Amino acid sequence: MVGCSNDEDGPIAATEVTAGTLTGGPFSFTVDGVPDMVTNITLDVSGLSGSLQTFVITDESKNILGLPPNMAALEGVDFDGAGVGSCYIYHLAYEEGLSGLEPGMNLDNLNGDFALSNFLMVIRSGLDAGTLVGGPFQFLVDGIADMVTGISLDDSQLNGDNQTYVITDDMGGILGLPPTLEAVLGVDFDGAGEGTCFIYHLTYSGTLMGLEAGMNITDFQGEYDLSNSIEVNRVGLDAGVLSGGPYEFVVDGKVDNVTSLSFDGSNVNGELSTFVITDADLNILGLPPTLDAVKGVDFDGAGVGVCLIWHLTYQEGLMGLEAGSNAAALNGVFALSNSIEVNRLALNAGKLEGGPYEFTVDGSPDMATGLSLDASGLNGSNQRFIITDADLNILGLPPTLEAAKGVDFDAAGEGICLIWHITYEDDIMGLEAGANAGNLQGNFALSNSIMVTRNALNAGALEGGPFMFTVDGTPDMVSGITLDETELNGANQTYVITDDMGNILGLPPTLEAVEGVDFDGAGVGVCFIWHLTYSEGLMGLEPGMNTADLQGFYDFSNSIQVTRMAMAD
């Protein structure tokens, strides 16, 4: 550098600033928590000039990290604390007025009279756990030991004070810490069950916290490095996928097969396999060995209920695989596919609605006009209606609802009828008038029944009397007679007075009219008072006729006796 004097003696010769020459290094340290200092650096000061000197430490971009003032300070710097990267050590000579010389600034921005020496490189390398080679591995969890083989460790870049292997799950949870590669090769991954493991090589210095089974590698605290990982995939037994259904059959005596069932066995593994048919509670009903055997099963023969079809893959030694056992109690190494449901429905005759009906047997037609059939669940090949008596004797077999609604129940006389709907297959026996529905044989179902009660005409009950009068010329009237009409029915009613032979003497229309009759006028003898109910068209109902000759629909109540005695002599 050239400078000028400000006195009168004239110019002074130019002086060049030089920083000398550094010797030593390059240095290479591992960032491992252990202090790393440079040593054996020398500075050749021959030709050194400059009023001021210092050492300068920068990063690879010339950013100033530190300014140790002398060699002792320089050799006291701990480069491990700077982390991974590269540092450069310079010696700087300069004159007063140099700007930009402070940590955080850049050497390229120094301004003033200065000179930099050559630099010495300090490489701060991270811990290197090496590189694992081998795998990935895939094992079948089948009760047979599975070990990894062919794994090797490239330790050409390995550093650090301590090393071990680490086996984790897919979340980083530590499962084991085999100390050597031989120990890793001895691990039985089958015992870990289904899932994914990762094998790492670990190097570390000093104390590494969190390095124990049950901890997680993401929680390590200390100086360490993990290698790449090798994946170990532990696959469970796969029984494949069943397609088809669900199936719904009617138990009707006809063969029902699952002919459209298919099986995707592309991922099936395991030594042995079979199909399994269970009920809804997993009780094993059958073990067809092949898909064709499954398709040949007649599910109609199993009766009403639910079956489940499965495919099973398993290893030798499976216990409990037999008809009569329960699939939930299987013991060993096995896998079941998805299940296909087979619903075996009973014959369903639908539901009758309407009634109950109550008719009076009175010669007027009585039909179950409000009868209807809910056929929403109806199945079966054949249907019709059945009319039985209370003892299930078949009285009629109307083929349709309209025919059932057209039946005149009045003609059947007094009693109880039951209307049913029946669904049945061609094998039914005993379905005929005169037979009994309780003796039907074959595949059939009866709906609920609708009761039709056919009541007889009821004339009620008379109360009062008996009466005893003396024929003496004084009017004799009955009194205190009442009619209990609780059960009374019929379109028409009247009272009837007969003699003791049933000959009709009078037909008083009301009870008041009965009580107005003068029995003294009839002379000595016996009369009977009745209440009569009847339907239109009754023949023979007139005085002088006999009640035994009445023709039509009618009913007499009980009678009240009226005795007419002669006067004593």
Query: Which one-letter amino acid corresponds to residue 294?
Result: V
Q: Helix (H, G, I), strand (E, B), or coil: what is residue 40?
A: coil
Architecture of domain 351-456: Sandwich (2.60)
Q: What is the pLDDT of residue 95?
A: 95
Q: Hey, how many other C-beta atoms are within 10 angstroms of the C-beta on 251?
A: 21
Q: What is the pLDDT of residue 9?
A: 41
Q: What is the pLDDT of residue 142?
A: 85
Burial bucket for residue 539 (CB in 10 Å: 0-12, 13-18, 19+): exposed
Each residue's pLDDT, cut to its tens digit, for the chain (569 residues) gives 333 333 334 333 446 899 999 999 899 988 888 899 999 999 999 989 999 999 999 999 999 999 999 999 999 999 988 888 999 999 999 999 999 999 999 999 999 999 999 999 999 988 999 999 999 999 998 888 999 999 999 999 999 899 999 999 999 999 999 999 999 999 999 988 899 999 999 999 889 999 999 999 999 999 899 999 999 999 989 999 999 989 999 998 899 999 999 999 999 988 899 999 999 999 999 999 999 999 999 999 888 999 999 999 999 999 999 999 999 999 999 999 999 999 999 999 999 999 899 999 988 899 999 999 999 999 999 999 999 999 999 999 999 999 999 999 998 889 999 999 999 999 899 999 999 999 999 999 999 999 999 999 999 999 998 999 999 999 999 999 999 999 999 999 999 999 999 999 999 999 999 999 999 988 899 999 999 999 999 999 999 999 999 999 999 999 999 999 998 76
**With contact defined as beta carbons under 8 Å apart, do 533 and 455 qualify?**
no
Q: Beta partners for 54? A: 92
What is the C-alpha to C-alpha distance for residues 122 and 120, in angstroms, rounded to an integer? Answer: 7
Q: What is the pLDDT of residue 569?
A: 65
Q: What is the pLDDT of residue 15?
A: 61
Phi, psi values for residue 544, rounded to 5°: 95, -20
412-423: string of b/e by CB count within 10 Å (b at 16+)? Answer: beeeebbbbbbb
Is the preceding omega at residue 26 within 30 degrees of 0, hence cis?
Answer: yes
Q: What is the pLDDT of residue 5?
A: 30
What is the C-alpha to C-alpha distance for residues 191 and 184, in angstroms, rounded to an integer? Answer: 14
Closest CA to 496 of 531, 542, 525: 531
Question: Hey, where are the domains in the chain?
Answer: 21-126, 131-235, 241-345, 351-456, 461-566
Cα 162 to Cα 151, 225, 532, distances in angstroms: 20, 11, 121
- What's the pTM value of the predicted model, to 2 decimals? 0.60
Q: Helix (H, G, I), strand (E, B), or coil: what is residue 292?
A: helix
What is the C-alpha to C-alpha distance for residues 526 and 388, in angstroms, rounded to an integer? Answer: 46
Contacts (Cβ under 8 Å, ≥6 apart) of 18: 47, 48, 49, 50, 93, 115
What is the C-alpha to C-alpha distance for residues 263 and 244, in angstroms, rounded to an integer? Answer: 9
Closest CA to 127 of 25, 230, 220, 26: 220
Q: What is the pLDDT of residue 188?
A: 95
What is the C-alpha to C-alpha distance for residues 198 and 229, in angstroms, rounded to an integer? Answer: 6
